[in-house]
Structure formats: structure tokens, C-alpha cells
Structure 1
Amino acid sequence: MAGWRPALAVVAGTLLLSGCTDGTDDGRTARGTPSASAGGKRSPSPSSPTASPSSSSGAYTLAENRAPRTRAEAVAFVRSLVVRPDYFGAGYRRGEPYESDPARWAVLGEDCVWRREPLPRTVLASLTRRFELPEEKGKDAVYVALTVTVHTSTVQARRDMAGSVEEALRCPEQRLSATERVRGLSSQAQTATEQESPTTEDDLQEAGEYVVDGEEPRPFDWSKFRLGPVTVAATVRHGAGRVEYDIAVDALKGVGFVAAEIDRRDESGDTGTKDEPTGTGGAGGGGSTGGAGTTGGTESTGGAEGGR
């Protein structure tokens, strides 16, 4: 893989924080205050950065006693999080389909094939949102998918992170659909105690190649971060003609905006779960799940449209 990728994993925490201190256009902005959304809630924006992490360790977090406790609360929580296309850079727009079913998630089977399955009992909700940077002259499209998953406890979220690390070792090549796969996956994981400047409590970075049958391989990046019982994951399918490092850095900054908003929910005690519809079912399932499944195939072909 390209030489910049290990370096990108090392500085991921810094990039997460810079996602809340920089703009996404060519003129980077200085640290400021969060903006207010239409509903009166303060939300991060590329031009209006957020405050520092609220926990004493300096890492973004969500205390378990402030996290959603039911499926209905968890679905309301993940849907209430602001995720704007320009969090990932200028020119992005919503993908199609935009959102996944929060009662299902992507599971990597023993055969190293991704499938969508109902949530296990240890997961309350998992929502993937998709974004794309359209193709232009000499540059192919870029696809980003961001998944927020609410677990029943911090312990379960930690187990999920550990399982994700094992998946790259178990399946260095993973099938997304009948014609799509990722291969050559390598991973690096760190806890907050292992990071010089922690911004989340655990993080995992993976890199490899995304391959469509009959086409040239493209760089593929996957990142996953834990904030208490919540995990935030993002995948990036690069396009030919793009600057790989810039695309990857901007995607990490986008994750930073979402992590900062979750951290503010911890500080304010507002989990965004009031006056929302009741839950969506989805118990059972299980199995090993991980990161590549966030890339965006379809259930009809067996590809995973959202991952952990």
C-alpha cells in the first residue's frame, strides 16, 4: 500500500480533533464555537468548530448512564445526529440510498462474505449514511459511508472493537457483493492510554484495496472509533485521479464532527431521544461484524450497505 497510510493511522486522533477546528473549504478556519441547528441544538459545522472533549482523559466519550437504554431511544439518538455532506469536504452530496435500516447491520460470515442481518441483543441501533463526491473531468467518484452504532453497554462496544480487529486477520480479502471485494487489508488499533493525544477511547484504522471485477483496484480506507457504548465507523472508496491523502484526511475530519457532537451529548445530558417514534425490532443475528461492510452494496447481491 502507499507509504502515507501507516502515517495516517498514527495521526488519526489529531485529524479527528482537527475535524472540529478546521473548515472544509480551501480557507481553513480557527477554533470557534458550535453553531445552532434549526431545532435549537448546537451542532458542529466545518465553519463553526466545537469545544474540546469533555472527559477528564481528554477523549471524546459518552457516559453509559447518559446513553440510550432502549431500541427506540437508540434509533432516535442515531437519527438525531447531524451528518452533513460537507463534513467530508467540499462537493460531497448524499448518496443513494442515503440511510440504512437501523434494525440491521453488516455481518462478516465465516466465508468472509458480508451480509445484512438483524441486530443481536447486544446492539440497540446501527445507522449508516452514505455520501459521494461526484465524478468530474479526469476524476472518478469517491464514496463515503458513516455508521453510528449504539451498544447495550461499554463492555459490548469494547468487544465489538476487538472483533473488528480480528476480522482483518481472519479475512484479509472480503466479498461485498457478487462483483465487489476488498483485499490486502491491514489494521492498526489503539486505546486512549496508548495514544499521545487521545480523542476517542479506542480507535481502529484499516487500509486495503477495493476491487470491482474487470476494473482497476482503488484504495480503500476504514476507520472506527469508540465513545463509551457508541461506535462510529467510516469507509472510503477512493476514485482514480484523486489525491488519496487529502480524501482520507477529509473523511477522518468528518468523523470528528460526529464524535464531537456525541461528546457534547455527554456534557449536556441531551441524547436527542425525546418525542421520537418507537423502536424497529431486530433482535437475534450476531456473528462477526466489522468495517468493510460499510461500503455500500445491496442486500439483493449479498453486499453490505452498512457496517459497524
Structure 2
Amino acid sequence: MNNGNTVVHRSNWPWRVAASVAAATVVLGGCSSESGGKAAGPSSSAPPKSAAASGSPSAAASASSPGGDASPGTPFEADPAKVPGTKSRAKALAAAVALKPQEWGAGFRAQQQAVSAPGTVALLNEQCRWERRALPKGVLGSLSRYSEIPAAGGKGELKVSAAVTVHTTVRDADEQLATTLEEPLRCRQQQVRTDEWISGLISNAMPYGQGNNTYSDDQVVEMGKYLTGKIQQTYYWHVTRLGTVTLAVSVKGAKGYSDKELATYAGNADASMLTRLKSELGGNN
């Protein structure tokens, strides 16, 4: 715990990829005092902090192998011939895996900004603002899709996002997870858009083999508060890695939605994209 606001740790916190995501509400919420999946904020010339600079053990321990080479103890072995090695193939994979509005469930539609700008990736800059930058070295492709359930029947507008980022190597992908763990300490409040903020983030990471993670190489779940003006709602962000690919899901709470409902949306979306990714890469569970 850090000043009662932020906790970042790796633990044997048990959950399963979809059904047990509700545990995040209990475990993370008990310590309470967004991001791939976060929409870009105002641009800035300051460079984002890299995972290598953060000194995270995840990045340090990661293998540098390219393509389909797996981390020790990986739960999944991809067909090397199907692992993207070019930007065009990475783009196609991201488009096939990232959830479209109707795939989130009943009532969802595309946001006014439905997809991210081609050839960009979301990064948190030194001013703690999310922005989209040209693909950096080590990233072959990235796509974010933004969906929502419109406000109706006494409920507010629920916003969600699904992002897929294809990296050149396992190490590059692992560094994204390392950076995700470091960011809540570096930026306790993060600007998503001009009038949208995320604060009070707490994080929990579970590599393969810890708890009940038998489905991915690594996963980070963050929970915090989504702020628009003086309105504050619950926020979830999942980042999951399988080989060279990272999946990110964000859910911005709204009036009338319980934390359990929000956690279920996040968990189901994460599980759905992970299943698609495994199918696309043609490996064996």
C-alpha cells in the first residue's frame, strides 16, 4: 500500500479468466484509497517512460525470443507460421481479435470514435496523459475499438474498449506488462481525454502458474476511479499477454451499474479475446 492510494504487487491471487474476475472487486476494492485499452488524451512532445527504465522484474526476466517462441511454462504454444512477423499480418490479427460493439453483448454500439488511428498505439507520456503515438520499435501493430451502452432507463452511459497489440518479440510484449505495473506509481492520476481522468489505481499481476492462471503467460488487472467533472465511477483495466500479443480491456463505470456487472463485462471480454487469439494462432491449449 502506498499512502493508502496505490498498491502494485504480484501475488497468488486466485481467479479464473472470466468467472472469477469478480474477485478483483473484493481484493482490489479492499485496498482502495484506465490505458492498449485507454483512449488517447491530448498530445505532448515528452516521450513516454519505457518498461526497461522502470526496472520491473517482468521485463528483466522476459525472454528475448521472437515469433512463436514461448516463455518457460507457457500455457499455449502457437504455430510459428501463424505468429505475425510483419505489420500487415499484425494488423489483420488485431482486427480479427479486438471485440466489436455487438460482441460485448446486448445494447452495445460503437462510440463516436469507433476505432483508433491506424499505425498508432496508446502510451502514457511524462505528463501522465494518454495519447496515441506512431508505432514504436518492437510493436508491429495495434488496434483499439471503443464501444458503449447509451444512457437510458435511469442508467448512465457505459463506455468500454478492447485493444490488441502485436509485438516483435516476447520480451517486447512482456515489457508492456512491466510498464502497466509501474504506471500507477508514476502517475497516480492519469488523463484519458480532455475531460476524463483515472485516479486511485491499484494493480495486481499474476504470471502463468500463480493462483489459477493457466490461460495466459501473464496478466495485470487494475481497478480505480473514472472521473468526469465531479462524477466518479469504478474503472477496470485488464492487460493479458500470450506470447508476443497483448490484449487490453477497459470498462468505465456509469450510474446504475454495479461493480460486479463491470467486472463481469471486463472478464468476459478478456476471455473472449483470448479464445480468439488462440484460435487465430493455431496452437494447442
**Cα 1:110–1:84 shift into 2, 3 Å:** closer
Q: 1:64-75 counterparts in 2 under 5 A?
A: 66-75=82-91
**Aligned counterpart, 2:16:** 13
Residue 267, structure 1, aligned to residue 270, structure 2 = no
**Aligned counterpart, 2:254:** 239
1:11 Cα deviation (Å)?
5.3
> In the comparison of the two structures, how many residue pairs are matched?
226
Q: Normalised by the size of structure 2, how large is the TM-score?
A: 0.72
Deviations 1:128-159 (A, max 9, x none): 01111121121101100000000001111011
1:179 Cα deviation (Å)?
2.2
CA contact (8 A) 2:97 2:164 kept: no
**Cα 1:82–1:117 shift into 2, 3 Å:** closer
1:107 Cα deviation (Å)?
1.4
**Aligned counterpart, 1:106:** 122
**Cα 1:11–1:240 shift into 2, 3 Å:** farther
**Aligned counterpart, 1:158:** 174
1:108 Cα deviation (Å)?
0.9
What's the % identity of the aligned pairs? 28
Q: Secondary structure, in 3 states, of the residue corresponding to 1:15?
A: coil
In structure 2, stretches of 5+ residues that fail to align are 5-11, 22-70
RMSD: 2.8
CA distance, structure 2, for counterparts of residue 16 and residue 61 of structure 1: 24
**Cα 1:223–1:197 shift into 2, 3 Å:** closer
Q: Secondary structure, in 3 states, of the residue corresponding to 1:165?
A: helix
Residue 180, structure 1, aligned to residue 196, structure 2 = yes
**Aligned counterpart, 1:78:** 94
Q: Normalised by the size of structure 1, how large is the TM-score?
A: 0.67
CA distance, structure 2, for counterparts of residue 233 and residue 82 of structure 1: 9
Which of 114, 118, 121 aligns to 2:134? It is 118
Amino acid at match of 1:199: Y
**Aligned counterpart, 1:137:** 153
Residue 212, structure 1, aligned to residue 215, structure 2 = no
Q: Secondary structure, in 3 states, of the residue corresponding to 1:161?
A: helix
**Aligned counterpart, 2:44:** none
CA distance, structure 2, for counterparts of residue 197 and residue 222 of structure 1: 17
CA contact (8 A) 2:190 2:198 kept: yes
1:105 Cα deviation (Å)?
1.3
Q: Secondary structure, in 3 states, of the residue corresponding to 2:17?
A: helix
CA contact (8 A) 2:235 2:251 kept: yes
CA contact (8 A) 2:13 2:210 kept: no
CA distance, structure 1, for counterparts of residue 19 and residue 142 of structure 2: 21
CA distance, structure 2, for counterparts of residue 104 and residue 11 of structure 1: 34
In structure 1, stretches of 5+ residues that fail to align are 2-8, 19-54, 270-308
Amino acid at match of 2:205: A
CA distance, structure 2, for counterparts of residue 154 and residue 85 of structure 1: 29
